[in-house]
Structure 1
Amino acid sequence: MVSYTISASIITTAPPERVFAVLDDFRHWPAWMPSLDRVSVVLPAGSPGPGYRFRLQGRIVHADMEVLDYTAMARKTSFQISFPPLTGFNRCLVVPLDDGRYRIERVDSLNLPDLLAGLIDLTQRQRFERLAGEFLDALKREVEGPPRG
């Protein structure tokens, strides 16, 4: 098993409550999150919190998700993707800055089977890093825009 971490950050004017209101609204992820436009979100009853599980369902591939960390300033969600077989976690942390703005830090940790890791080269890793940046850009637009009805 090979593991690697991707980190990205962005500055926003939105307070943590707004950031996490968007992140916790799993049903609306496909409306703003890059690369999820053809994915449905399968949610059980209940509210997000530690241990909450849900599924992202594509036509062929799915990802089982579980909320691991749920605090006022952070969220952490594990994932297990069906194909290619990947596991890992995503973490978003909001850090207050001295000027009234906030830094959103995203960390993705990926665990890849050795065979798959051998196929992922520097170009693919750079693609994952670009996707993390695109995610934060989209999140910033969503949290700084008008709230969804």
Structure 2
Amino acid sequence: MGVRVDDSVVVTAPADRVWNVITDFAAYHEWNPFQRECSAELTPGAPIRMLVALGPGGPMRQTEYIDEVDVAGRWFTYRMRPAPMRLLHSVRRQSVVDLGDGRSRYESHFEINGPLSPLVDALLGRRLTAKFAAVAAAVKVRAEADGR
């Protein structure tokens, strides 16, 4: 079994504003507690370069790749390049759902699979869960503050 982390949060802001928050990669350093730096073009195949703060030892540079983008549906995914023999592979999906009345829901899905995923779970599972929850909370704060 791999590692799977799902989070969602209702945001008192229109879906377009939340979408703008999660796709303004250059501003991640202003609000995102996990991805301290981020640069990407929202184009399938494009790299998404991040400085992630996962645990001890300080932030770590990481490059993954935009996989799918649906601007109209307000979601995108990115993946790490699989390790040899698919020993480890991941996907992250971020999406925004319009709830009407100026409210929306931010959804985050992350999973990492492969024969080495139990090791990742043992070493980083709790941290990943906490970090993705912190990101969801920060998206809410940022999107709601941007409207004032």
1:114 paired residue number: 115
Tell me how far apart the structure 2 counterparts of residues 50 and 119 of structure 1 sit (CA, whole Å). Answer: 26
Change (3 A) 1:14 1:5: same
1:56 paired residue number: 50
The 5-angstrom pairing of residues 1-149 of structure 1 reads 3-37=2-36, 39=37, 41-43=38-40, 48-57=42-51, 61-80=61-80, 87-97=89-99, 100-111=102-113, 113-115=114-116, 117-118=118-119, 120-121=121-122, 124-146=124-146
**Counterpart of 1:96 in 2: which secondary structure?**
strand
Shift of 1:60: 5.4
Indicate if the aligned counterparts of 2:6 and 2:109 stay in contact, CA closer than 8 A: yes
| 1:29 partner letter | Y
Tell me how far apart the structure 2 counterparts of residues 135 and 61 of structure 1 sit (CA, whole Å). Answer: 18
**Counterpart of 1:110 in 2: which secondary structure?**
strand
**Counterpart of 1:73 in 2: which secondary structure?**
coil
**Counterpart of 1:140 in 2: which secondary structure?**
helix
Indicate if the aligned counterparts of 1:87 and 1:110 stay in contact, CA closer than 8 A: yes
Indicate if the aligned counterparts of 1:70 and 1:76 stay in contact, CA closer than 8 A: yes
Indicate if the aligned counterparts of 1:11 and 1:104 stay in contact, CA closer than 8 A: yes
Gaps of 5+ in 2: 53-58
| 1:17 partner letter | D
Tell me how far apart the structure 1 counterparts of residues 44 and 120 of structure 2 sit (CA, whole Å). Answer: 34
Tell me how far apart the structure 1 counterparts of residues 13 and 131 of structure 2 sit (CA, whole Å). Answer: 21
Shift of 1:9: 0.8
TM-score (norm 2): 0.72
What whole-Å deviation, never above 9, does each CA across 1:61-96 have from its counterpart, x for those lacking one?
Answer: 42223141223333222232799x853222122223
